[in-house]
Amino acid sequence: MEEFRWYYPNSIEEAVGLLELQGVVPHGGGTGIIRGKLDRYKGLISLEGLGLDYIKEVDGVVEIGATATYHDVIEFCGAVCGECILVKSLSRAASTPLRNRITIGGSVAYFPIWSDLMGPLIALDATVSILGKNEGEYPVQELARNRSLKSHSLIKSLKFKRFNGFTYYYRAARTHFDYGSFNITMLASFDDGVFSDVRFVLVGSKAKFQRLAEIENGLIGRAPSDVDVPGLIGELYNSIEFHNTRIGSAEYTKSVALVEIERAIYASFKAMEGEK
Ligand SMILES: Cc1cc2nc3c(=O)[nH]c(=O)nc-3n(C[C@H](O)[C@H](O)[C@H](O)COP(=O)(O)OP(=O)(O)OC[C@H]3O[C@@H](n4cnc5c(N)ncnc54)[C@H](O)[C@@H]3O)c2cc1C
């Protein structure tokens, strides 16, 4: 039987070279890797020595290194802006010890259906920098759709423009620590009493993630008084579907999601009202 090996590269070049080995994959926080059988792998590449645990903001663009943890992001973004969407979402994920362990790169690569990271990143139009076989800079949505991009590749970092407008996050779960069944991210900007930018993402449906264009297009350019909210929710009825989830049946989960989407919209109306 072949011996299982750990690799501890000290440079990114060395780590990228190791990715060519069959059955050898990067190890971020290890919290996703331990969910499956370890005999799937011939070896793991520790990313700890690569200096990728940084977070920085230059000219309004935030860059997060792959081995920064959920906790690191909450701390960094929380110090800059209390309304940051990643602070709202990641501080609800898992537990304190796990948030100290889960990495951003591992979470983008793994993208579980309960992810509290991916909805906000999709709404923020984040891009992901990848090294190795599929080297390049990709929109996070593309990586989420095309999982083969991560084969023999290393997620180095991700980037997004800091968002300063209205932020809203809802996570459906039976208890605080339970895996979320679905989540909603809404980002919106207002200009002179109308919506100038709206980004609305649902994670956890059958499609795994969806940008809800019906809501975005139904709000942009309109004042709250001109929005037909029940009509918008009605339009969504046929475009979101769920499997049975931890909170209940597929049909029940859909009803909860539609109510929560409506609440998010009304919360944005209230925020716009508060700005006047
Ligand atoms: C009990 C429990 C509850 C959880 N609850 C939540 C929750 O509520 N919300 C939430 O968002 N998350 C939650 N998580 C975390 C989530 O399920 C994943 O375990 C986590 O996102 C994986 O990140 P990691 O850094 O541990 O990745 P790892 O386990 O190290 O890696 C996961 C996968 O990504 C690959 N990988 C790792 N780093 C890189 C990289 N830099 N480049 C390319 N590929 C890479 C690995 O090879 C592996 O295939 C929970 C985890 C546990 C154990």
What does the domain layout of the chain look like in residue ranges? 5-48, 50-161, 166-275
pLDDT band at 66 (very low <50, low <70, confident <90, very high): very high
As a whole number, mean pLDDT of residues 207-225 equals 98
Rounded to two decimals, the pTM is: 0.97
Q: How far is the CA of 76 from the centre of ligand 1 (A)?
A: 20
**pLDDT per residue over 127-169, tens digit each?**
999 999 999 999 999 999 998 999 999 999 999 999 999 999 9
Q: Which atom of ligand 1 is nearest to the CA of 154?
A: 42
Ligand 1 center–CA 32 separation, angstroms:
4
**Cβ-count burial 185-204 (b if 16+ within 10 Å, e if not):** bbbbebeeeebeebbbbbbb
**In CATH, 166-275 is 3.40.630.30:** no
pLDDT at 88: 97
Residues 167/187, Cβ–Cβ less than 8 Å: yes
pLDDT over 70 percentage in the chain: 99
H or E stretch at 98: helix 96-99
Cα of 185 to ligand 1 centre, how many Å?
A: 20
CATH of domain 50-161: 3.30.465.10
Model confidence at 58: pLDDT above 90: yes
Query: Both tokens of residue 195?
Result: 């919506």
CATH placement of domain 5-48: 3.30.43
Ligand 1-lining residues (CB < 6 angstroms): 25-33, 47, 66, 93-94, 98, 102-103, 105-107, 109-110, 112, 114-117, 150, 154-155, 179-180
**pLDDT score for 124:** 98
